[in-house]
Amino acid sequence: MESFIDCISCCEPTSLPQLLQQSNDQRMQTLTTLTTIVLKSFSSKCVWGMKRCYNCRNLKLVGMAEADFYSCICNLPSITDAWTLQHGQGYVIESVSIDSCVICQEAYEALYHCFNCSCFSSLKHFSLRPMDKSKGARMNEKQWQPICEYLKAGLCPHLESISLSNNNIGHKGVNALVDAYLSGKMEKCIYLDLSGNSIGDKGAIALSRLFDHPFSCASLEVLDLSHNKIHSKGFDVFLSHFGSITHEHLRVINWSYNPLKGESVKTFFRIIEMNHCPQLQCINLSGIAMNSDVSATFATMIRSGTFAHLEELHLAECSLNLDSIKHLCNAIVDMPLQLLHTLSLAQNRLNPACICALCCILQKQQLPSLRELDLSSNKVGNEG
């Protein structure tokens, strides 16, 4: 019992401090009620303890050493089989999060087995983040492609979200993922985070195939392609497909920190202006230069009323200056953003005159829901 408890770094609904204060008999009972377990280590002695946790729906593996992670993944199918055998079909893992673990190739093979058997058959959320950004620690496309084959075969029919930030997926990995979507077996997958994978132009072009078959992505709500070294060449092709359909459910789109040219960004704004994303709640364009001309197109988009549901707008490090802010503020005066609660303008070129322009729209209640305004790292001085 003690060895298993020592492997837990967090749990819910009973917290770890509360669990540690209990007697062994109480702990035995509490383990059966835990719905979320975060493990920092694992050994064969932990298998018995995990079999007691048959109500666990959310499993998080954080910072595990290579041997511990391998042991955990190898034993996971037998653990979930024991849950089903003893308690019925409803006792399954719905969410798996792997964060900062050391993963050897043998562990990937064990992970594939989890996808290929009943262990992950009820999986709704899958997240894998490397322990650091070095190439050796990141999952590559060869390691990702077998998982896509299992998704394509319909072995995770309930999957709703995939988060693979800061890995090394590449355009071949994107192609494999798109093939899984096009199989019709991933219609429920509404959250896709490929940020920090350097998929590049080829990856963006590969992903654009998704929009030629609207049925495959009709439910998509979140798309994060930030930090992917996507240039205008790939972005333009992506937009030609993306703009061919209406994304009825898309709420969040993140293009931040991709080296895009102004004309390409303006094309994106025109697509949004044409109401191709009517439910958009969050847009992140941080790290993308927006000169006066691009800002004017952005202002036109605001005036179109397409941001009726917008709650978050992130424009940090966009080289915004006084002209840009004037375009933004004048557009908001004409078409107030009623639901916007977060506005990030950090690390731009804002001076005291920019702050005055922003104060005017705040005083006039053009942003009535605003709770967070980030103006950090701007040279506004004491006057600002």
Q: Specify the pTM.
A: 0.94
pLDDT at 133: 65
Q: How confident is the model at residue 3 (pLDDT cuts 50, 70, 90)?
A: confident
Averaged pLDDT for residues 194-204: 97
Q: Which residue has the tokens 């009972």?
A: 29
Question: Is residue 366 pLDDT above 50, yes or no?
Answer: yes
**∠377-383-384 over CA atoms, to 5°?**
40
Confidence tier at 153 by pLDDT (50, 70, 90): very high
In whole numbers, what is the pLDDT of the chain averaged over residues?
95
Determine the pLDDT at residue 382. Answer: 46
Angle of helix 170-182 relative to helix 141-152, nearest 10 degrees, comes to: 0
For the stretch 104-144, pLDDT in tens is 999 999 999 999 999 999 999 999 999 876 666 899 999 99
Q: Using an 8 Å Cβ cutoff, are 43 and 68 in contact?
A: yes
pLDDT value, residue 381: 54
CA 26 distance to own-chain centroid: 37
The alpha carbon of 231 is separated from its chain's Cα centroid by a whole number of angstroms, namely 21
| Per-residue pLDDT band at 384 (split at 50, 70, 90) | very low
What is the average per-residue pLDDT within 37-45?
95
Q: Find the mean pLDDT for residues 332-340.
A: 96
Sign of CA dihedral 312, 317, 318, 323: positive
Distance of CA 199 to the CA centre of its chain: 15
Q: Which helix (H) or strand (E) holds 383?
A: none
Residues 269 and 306 sit within 8 Å (Cβ to Cβ): no
CA–CA distance, 272 with 304 (Å, rounded to integer): 9
Tell me: the pLDDT tens digits for 291-326?
A: 999 999 999 999 999 999 999 999 999 999 999 999
Q: What is the pLDDT of residues 248-297, one digit of tens each?
A: 999 999 999 999 999 999 999 999 999 999 999 999 999 999 999 999 99
CA–CA distance, 88 with 84 (Å, rounded to integer): 5
Residue with tokens 């979200």: 161
Domain ranges of the chain: 1-123
pLDDT in tens, 353-362: 999 999 989 8
pLDDT at 364: 81
Is residue 347 within 8 Å of 289, Cβ to Cβ? no
Strands 282-284 and 312-314: parallel
Arithmetic mean of pLDDT, 1-17: 92
**What secondary structure does DSSP assign to 218-280, as a single string?**
TT--EEE--SS---HHHHHHHHHHHTTS--TT--EEE-TT----HHHHHHHHHHHHTTSSTT-
Asked if 114 and 77 touch (Cβ cutoff 8 Å), the reply is yes
| % of the chain with per-residue pLDDT over 70 | 97
Q: What is the mean pLDDT of residues 66-92?
A: 96
Instruction: Give the C-alpha separation, 263 to 245, whole Å.
Output: 21
